[in-house]
Structure 1
Amino acid sequence: MAQELDRAMSALIGGALGDALGMPTQLLSTSQIAASYGFVDGFVSPSENHPVSKGLPAGTITDDTEQTLLLGRILLESGGEFDHRRWVNALVDWEKDVKARGSYDLLGPSTKRAIDAINNGEPPEEAGRIGDTNGAAMRIAPVGILMPTQPVEALVAKVAETCRATHNTSIAIASAAAVAAAVSNGVEGGDWRDACARAVTAARLGARQGHWIVGADIAARIEWACDLVRGKAQAEAIRMIVDLVGTSVASQESVPAAFAVLEVAQGDPWQAAVISANLGGDTDTIGAIAAGMAGAHAGMARLPANHIAGLKGIDLDEVRSLATDLVAARGRISRGKDVAE
């Protein structure tokens, strides 16, 4: 239980570190990042004319972390069967709060589109039928903490449940399933080197869920991306990820990119965050996914305490409470009990 809790905390905090480090560099190119910041290896403030992050203090988390924590709580409140309506209502309320803070542009395209559709009266089960971007994968860590790696079918089914309202497509579910499987592998004490194989298995199953949508196979892309950068120096690997894998919000790019980052960082959470922040493109989400997966395998001792102290917009006591409850629920699932028992 103690190790699982430590890994669960590290997955959530690692994800927050990757998110916050990538916040000011998101949507920029690698050359723009270099010109503005040099090589980013610590929290920096976004430029005054940044398209979405302007005005946010250095170290501030974004929607990646906020939605992750929100999903974790809904999972626990739902019990054994994911409460679809509760999740939709929570997302709508969260979206209102984000708007009130002036940060609506930080919402991902699939989530924004689905929430708008739900607000306009579309049934939640239909709202996510074209959501294929990385929003589901970016917030899926709580499912990986909650669900054991075996049976993998149960893990993937829970992932698919949580995707229905915003990302109910084969590509998005496969991507989220891959990340959840990697996180689960870490929480149960697995080695980061096994994360890719776990992810590929889950992604293949996830691709059979939701509405089929055209796009490259997520499992094959993850496997290829990891092989592509294995053994490469960091600078060369960054170039390969940017030029060949891609760093956009498309699931087929950013999720394989996150697994490639995990490989280059050799499972180190902070290095995963740093590499991600310097890629350009969807740096905060790639960082949240990669550093979250690395954190799940590394534990809190491998996270930099000084940078955790620099995080803004996150309550660490709340994170610990969530991690504790998710790990307890994981134990009940392992024993064949109900999540909320």
Structure 2
Amino acid sequence: MSTIEEGALGALTGLSLGDALGMPTQSMSPAAIHEAYGRVDTLRDAIADQPIAPGLPAGSVTDDTEQALIVAELIIEGRGHIDPKEFAKRLLAWEDDMKSRGSLDLLGPSTKLALEQVRHGADIMTTGRTGTTNGAAMRVAPVGIANRPEDTRRLANRIYESCQVTHDTVAGFQSAALIATTVSLGLEGMTVRQALNESLRLVSAMETSGAWTPKASVPARARQAIQVSEEFSDEDDFERHLIEDCGTSVEANESVAAAFALAWRFADDPQSALLAAVNLGGDTDTIAAMTGAMTGACTGPEVFDPALCSQVASVSHLDLQKTARGLITLR
């Protein structure tokens, strides 16, 4: 059992390490990953024709970590609250900065669509009504760090503030809520599996004003992914199941479900969970980031390779301890 301080740092450490480990493999097929890198078991430079992050050096984080840190900044500045208009402004500025640096690692499809509408003067109360991808879930860990799980209504309101502009759907909210609630429960001392189970129970009971979509339920898919993950004794068969049956796309009901299955299966070995995630293909960096945030919150940062964590912090210029402390003071 980790302390609250260790859990907060563990969540941010796991998020950033998973993100960086998945950076060179994101949006690639499993076959392409194997051809380019073999089995990824450490931080790697991205190949020159990486579709999202060509040539980035090993240890570089992507939009998952950078947007999570924007969320953290807004929470700290807002004394617990996120102002949706300011959030939209920060995301637009971040995208412009990434473009100016020549990066292809820009906004995901739901966030991009919503913010393009914001640029053209749309009401931010309406811009997120189609967002069902994992953009809200990948960046929400700071909300879980800053809020205790006992007051579920307050926690739900804070989660909603973080996803309204871009993912104002039932799927968008519930995907973010699953990650944030698991993180929050982990900081209270729950084990990985206890937190995953309790998060599924709490989120399924939370009310949301998000728009209905015909996509499969994120909690239902996550619960199913956990159950099925226990059926495989062989790791290759388990990974094949995630690729073929669960799915590893940016859709929240695939990627969040995959993260839950990985966190559950590797509850006692989070480092292996991240390495399994980054070899799956698809949205590898986000699946690994979400998995790392949830497991790290329950275990603290010591479960992750310290040399790799130091490399990520150095290459990507991260001060996660400062961010963790700022969020804990609001908890």
Matches within 5 A, 1:256-335: 256-311=257-312, 313-317=315-319, 319-330=320-331
1:101 and 1:48 mapped to 2: Cα distance?
16
Does 80-89 or 128-137 show the bigger shift?
Answer: 80-89
In 1, distance between residues paired with 2:152 and 2:237? 34
Q: Are 2:224 and 1:224 equivalent residues in the alignment?
A: yes
Quick one: distance in 1 between partners of 2:81 and 2:265? 37
4+ long deviations beyond 4 Å: none
Amino acid at match of 1:61: V
On the 8 A contact 2:171/2:215 being kept in 1, the answer is yes
Change (3 A) 1:41 1:154: same
Please say if 1:120 is aligned against 2:120.
Answer: yes
Moved more, 67-76 or 115-124: 115-124
Q: Percent identity?
A: 38
- Cα distance, 1:61 vs. partner? 0.2
The Cα shift of 1:154 comes to: 2.0
Correspondence for 1:337: none
How much does 1:132 deviate? 1.0
Residue segments in structure 1 that go unaligned for 5+ positions in a row: 331-341
Which residue identity lines up with residue 91 of structure 1 in the other structure? L
1:115 alignment partner, SS class: helix
Alignment of 1:128-143 (within 5 A): 128-143=128-143
Structure 1 distance, partners of 2:34, 2:92, is: 37
For the pair 1:254 / 2:255, whether they are aligned, the reply is yes
Aligned partner letter, 2:219: A
Would you say 1:172 and 2:185 are equivalent positions? no
Give 3-state SS (helix, strand or coil) of 1:168's partner: coil
Residue identity opposite 1:247 in structure 2: T
1:96 is aligned to 96
For residue 104 of structure 1, report the CA deviation from its aligned partner: 4.3
How has the CA–CA distance of structure 1 residues 231 and 263 changed in structure 2, closer, same or farther, with 3 Å as cutoff? Answer: farther
The residue aligned with 2:82 is 82
Spell out, residue by residue over 1:64-88, the C-alpha distance to the aligned partner (whole angstroms, 9 max, x if none): 0000011011012123543222212
The 3 A distance-change label for structure 1 pair 316 and 3 is farther
Q: Displacement of 1:124 after TM fit?
A: 1.5
2:28, 2:51 within 8 Å by CA — same for their partners in 1? Answer: no
Q: Which residue of 2 aligns with 1:235?
A: 236
Q: 5 Å matches for 1:171-210?
A: 171-206=171-206, 208-210=208-210
CA contact (8 A) 2:59 2:316 kept: no
User: Within 1, Cα distance between the matches of 2:93 and 2:230?
Assistant: 43
2:155 aligned with 1:155: yes
**One-letter code aligned to 1:113:** L
Superposition map of 1:8-19 within 5 A: 8-19=8-19
Give the match for residue 333 of structure 1: none
How many angstroms apart in 1 are the aligned matches of 2:6 and 2:110? 32
Distance in 1 (CA, whole Å) between partners of 2:251 and 2:142 is 22
- CA drift at 1:207: 6.6
Q: Compared with structure 1, are the counterparts of its residues 39 and 206 closer, same or farther at alpha carbon in structure 2 (3 Å cutoff)?
A: farther
Does the 8 A contact of 1:156 with 1:205 survive in 2?
Answer: no
CA contact (8 A) 1:110 1:167 kept: yes
Which residue identity lines up with residue 243 of structure 2 in the other structure? V
The two structures have a TM-score, normalised by structure 2, of 0.95
Give the structure 2 partner of residue 27 of structure 1.
27
Task: Provide the rounded CA distance (Å) in 2 between the counterparts of 1:90 and 1:20.
Answer: 22
Q: 1:274 to 1:283 in 2, by over 3 A?
A: same
Q: Is the 8 A contact 2:20 2:285 kept in 1?
A: yes
Deviation larger for 112-121 or 149-158: 149-158
User: Residue 105 and residue 80 in structure 1: after superposition, are their counterparts in 2 closer, same or farther (change >3 A)?
Assistant: closer
Could you tell me whether the CA contact under 8 Å between 1:174 and 1:202 is conserved in 2? no
Gaps of 5+ in 2: none
- 1:18–1:291 Cα contact (<8 Å) kept: yes
Q: Distance in 1 between matches of 2:22 and 2:73?
A: 25
Could you tell which deviates more after superposition, 196-205 or 45-54? Answer: 196-205
SS in 1 for 2:3: helix
Per-residue CA deviation, residues 136-174 of structure 1 (Å, 9 max, x unaligned), is: 000000011011111223212211121111111110100
* Alignment CA distance shift 1:106-1:272 (3 Å): farther
Structure 1 CA distance for aligned equivalents of residues 269 and 296 of structure 2: 7
Q: What RMSD over aligned residues (CA atoms) do the two structures have, in Å?
A: 1.6
For 1:134 and 1:80, the matched residues in 2 are separated by 22
**Match of residue 50 from structure 1:** 50
Q: Alpha carbons of 1:115 and 1:206: their partners in 2 closer, same or farther (altered >3 Å)?
A: farther
